[in-house]
Amino acid sequence: MDIEAYISSGIIESYVLGLASEEEISILNCIRKNNTAVEQAIVEAEKALEGLADIQAMEMPLVLKQDIWNRLEAENLVTKEDKTADGQVEQALTDGKIIQSPVQTTDAEKEPKRIVQRQFYGWAIAASVLLALSIGTNVFFYQQVKEGKKLLTETNAILDTQKASLTVLQDKWSLVKNPAVKTIPLKGVENKPDLHALVFWDQSSKAVYLSLEQMPAAPKGKQYQLWAMVDGQPVNAGVFPLKTKEQMASKMLDIPKAQAFAITLEDEGGKPVPTLTELCVMGGI
């Protein structure tokens, strides 16, 4: 077949224009597969009609874009999320290659700018939303960390208190369980019936420990003083250290012999003889 003659016969243009008969079309489809010149001539003819469509483009009513999209949505023909575009498409879109529109309308010059701006705003809005989300997340996590830290501090404080209490109890317990140690409860006197203290007296070492179980903190400038009653005479057994917590068993002076113990509230530092009016608790052995 003379390809030149075929190409110049007008069959290709007839085909592109939609005029060719079915027989002509099937022959043409057969030739185009094996002949690049024919294929090229078809493409050229198609491009001519594409160019014609470009030049004769007409502006569409603006509302139609939304109308058509709504219709596609209504017919379930769309994918919801927009972030699936793969790298190639994304690349092409961000390259800015697509800013030119084939629409040859009277304001054809304005069109590309508008598309760029629309895309720019789209990205700007997306970026803003991401930024807002990011800040929100940061604030949220910052709050969480702050809460966590506060809780940790509180827990630590509680733990410290518990540990201290445990030490106090363990100290006392070691005294109580020691068979050599005698526990002497001191009870409140007539006008102070609620007061209560414990004396631990080590019979072998003669060491004396005092625990103010239920005694108000000593007023400023005052201090509790322990006395041992030896043959009817009060003997100084030492002052309860100011900085010691009331419940803690504090080591006092050694007492080799006593029939009873008593506590008075004295001026800071203690006195050589007890002020009997300030007697708080006492207990016999």
**Is residue 126 within a helix (H) or strand (E), and if so which, with residue range?**
helix 110-176
Residue number with CB closer to other proteins (60 or 166): 60
Closest CA to 274 of 242, 241, 232, 235: 235
CB of 86 to other proteins, least distance (A): 7
User: Site size for other proteins, by CB under 8 A?
Assistant: 63
Per CB under 8 A, which region of 19-27, 140-148, 225-233, 245-253 contacts other proteins?
19-27
Nearer to other proteins, 58 or 276 (CB): 58
Q: How far apart are CA 203 and CA 121, in angstroms?
A: 91
**By CB under 8 A, is residue 50 in contact with other proteins?**
yes
b/e sequence 111-130, b meaning 16+ C-beta within 10 Å: beeeeeeeeeeeeeeeeeee
Verify binding: residue 148, other proteins, rule CB under 8 A.
no
Site for other proteins in 63-92 (CB under 8 A): 64-65, 67-69, 71-72, 75, 77-82, 84-86, 88-89, 92
Structure tokens that stand for 217 in this block: 């903190």
> Does the footprint of other proteins cover residue 150 (CB under 8 A)?
no
- Class of residue 178 by CB neighbours under 10 A (exposed 0-12, middle 13-18, buried 19+): middle
**Minimum CB separation from other proteins for residue 159, in Å?**
56
Asked whether 240 and 164 are in contact (CB, 8 A), the reply is no
- The residues binding other proteins (CB under 8 A) are 8-11, 13-14, 16-21, 43-61, 64-65, 67-69, 71-72, 75, 77-82, 84-86, 88-89, 92-93, 97-106, 115
